[in-house]
A and B are shown apart, each in its own frame.
Chain A
Amino acid sequence: MADMTISGEYFRGIVKDNPVFSLVLGLCPVLAVTTSVENAIGMAGAALFVLLGSNVMVSALRNQIPPITRIPMFIIIICTFVTIIDMVMEAYTPPLYKSLGIFIPLIVVNCIIIGRAEAYASKNTVKFSIVDALGIGTGFLIVLVIIGAIRELLGTGAIVPFGFKLISIPITPATFMILPGGAFMTIGVLMAIVNYNRIRKARKGGQ
Chain B
Amino acid sequence: MEDSLFSIAINGIFVKNFLLVQFLGLCSFVGVSKETKSAAGMSAAVLFVMIMASIASFLIYTYLLEPFGLTFLTTISFIIVIAFLVQLVEFIIRKFSPPLYRSLGIFLPLITTNCAILGVVILNARLDYTFVQSLFYGISAGLGYSMVMLIMSAIREKANSLKVPEAIEGLPHAFFITTLLSMAFVSYFGVIPT
Per the bound structure, the CA–CA distance linking A27 and B23 in Å amounts to: 8
Least CB distance from A169 to B in Å reads 23
Q: Per-residue 0/1 for A6-34: is the Cβ within 8 Å of any B Cβ (1 yes, 0 no)?
A: 00000000000000000011111101100
Q: Per-residue 0/1 for A183-201: is the Cβ within 8 Å of any B Cβ (1 yes, 0 no)?
A: 1110111011101100100
Per the bound structure, the CA–CA distance linking A175 and B48 in Å amounts to: 36
Interface contact A181-B171, CB-CB below 8 Å: no
Interface contact B167-A196, CB-CB below 8 Å: yes
Interface contact B27-A83, CB-CB below 8 Å: no
Per the bound structure, the CA–CA distance linking A83 and B72 in Å amounts to: 7
Q: Per-residue 0/1 for A155-184: is the Cβ within 8 Å of any B Cβ (1 yes, 0 no)?
A: 000000000000000000000100111011
Q: Is A102 an interface residue (CB 8 A)?
A: yes
Least CB distance from B76 to A in Å reads 4
Q: Which of B22, B83, B179 contacts A185 (CB 8 A)?
A: B179
Interface contact A111-B27, CB-CB below 8 Å: yes
Per the bound structure, the CA–CA distance linking A191 and B30 in Å amounts to: 14
CB neighbours (8 Å) of B59 from chain A are none
Number of interface residues of B (CB under 8 A): 43
Which of A56-64, A71-79, A130-138 binds B? Answer: A71-79
A-facing residues in B157-194 (Cβ within 8 Å): 166-176, 178-180, 182-183, 185-186
Interface contact B23-A180, CB-CB below 8 Å: yes
Interface contact A27-B30, CB-CB below 8 Å: yes
CB neighbours (8 Å) of A27 from chain B are 23, 26-27, 30
Interface contact B175-A109, CB-CB below 8 Å: no
Q: Is B114 an interface residue (CB 8 A)?
A: yes
Per the bound structure, the CA–CA distance linking A200 and B170 in Å amounts to: 17
Least CB distance from A186 to B in Å reads 9
CB neighbours (8 Å) of B21 from chain A are 180
Q: Is B7 an interface residue (CB 8 A)?
A: no
Least CB distance from B132 to A in Å reads 22
Q: Is A108 an interface residue (CB 8 A)?
A: yes
Interface contact B23-A82, CB-CB below 8 Å: no
CB neighbours (8 Å) of A82 from chain B are 75
CB neighbours (8 Å) of A180 from chain B are 20-21, 23, 182, 185-186
Q: Is B25 an interface residue (CB 8 A)?
A: yes
Interface contact B115-A185, CB-CB below 8 Å: no
Contact of A184 with B179 at beta-carbon distance under 8 Å, contacts A24-B171, A79-B75, A108-B79 already known? yes
B120 to chain A: closest residue by CB: A102
A-facing residues in B113-170 (Cβ within 8 Å): 113-115, 118-119, 122-123, 126, 166-170
Interface contact A192-B79, CB-CB below 8 Å: no
Q: Show the binding face of A for B, using Cβ within 8 Å.
A: 24-29, 31-32, 72, 75-76, 79-80, 82-83, 86-87, 102, 105-106, 108-111, 114, 176, 179-181, 183-185, 187-189, 191-193, 195-196, 199
CB-CB nearest 3 A-B residue pairs? A188-B175, A32-B23, A196-B167
